[in-house]
Amino acid sequence: MWKLESLEVSTITVKAIRDSVLSHRYTHTPKDLTRAVMILGQANLRETQMNESDLSIFLEGLRAEAETKIKNELSGPLSLGKRLLYDVIMPLHVNITADPQECRLEFLPGGSIRLNRILAVSPDVTVKGELETIRTLIIHRSARMFEVAERNGEISVTSHTWKGRQAVQKVRELLGSSSV
């Protein structure tokens, strides 16, 4: 029987587990199989995203991760002031353009983030770059790679409003850091 709760897996391990499960008949409980599917799904998410060409598909994982972190920061016992300030400033609109595709991340009061395929008319921040560059930065989540891409003109982050100027560094961290 698998001990799935504490299992840390690499892509190779996930493939081995998946191949093993597909080639043999195991008599696991539905709960075990559900856990296995969850682990396989989480471990393969970035690999799957690497093969996608739709901007919104790989931005969805980024959106969910950022939303979880923001909600955790806003829900702490000493975060009332932070939560009130955050809610006053929001919504924040971040247009992401990777020709020919476009999406918008809309940061809402309460910590929710909505992903839309329609750009904001008056965005607070605009991120522009080639689809491959943006996709690579999101997958690898390396601050160094992001800095190099920005310095080389492969990606640009531009603020258009006061809110945008306050958020630009967080947007850079969102796109270039694995610790969103």
Does the structure show a pLDDT above 50 at 127? Answer: yes
Spatial CA neighbour of 49 closest among 37, 60, 36, 64: 60
- Mean pLDDT across the stretch 88-117? 93
pLDDT given at position 6: 40
**Please, what's the b/e burial string for 26-59 (b: 16 or more CB within 10 A of its CB; e: otherwise)?**
eeeeeeeeebbeebbeebeeeeebeeeeebbebb
Considering 16-25, 31-40, 58-67, 87-96, the range whose residues carry the highest mean pLDDT is 87-96
Q: Alpha-carbon distance 50 to 96, whole Å?
A: 18
Does the structure show a pLDDT above 80 at 118? Answer: yes
Spatial CA neighbour of 43 closest among 61, 22, 60: 61
Domain ranges of the chain: 11-50, 55-176
The mean-pLDDT minimum among 12-16, 76-80, 159-163, 171-175 falls in: 12-16
pLDDT given at position 30: 53
pLDDT given at position 99: 79
Burial class (CB in 10 A: 0-12, 13-18, 19+), 87: middle
The residue count of the chain comes to: 180
The answer to whether 141 and 178 are in contact (CB under 8 A) is yes
pLDDT given at position 50: 44
28-85 per-position pLDDT tens digit: 555 555 566 565 555 455 444 444 468 888 789 889 999 998 999 898 778 888 889 8
- Mean pLDDT across the stretch 161-175? 89
Q: Alpha-carbon distance 146 to 137, whole Å?
A: 6
The answer to whether 130 and 136 are in contact (CB under 8 A) is no
Class of the CATH domain delimited by 55-176: alpha beta
Tokens of 154: 């492969």
- Mean pLDDT across the stretch 89-111? 93
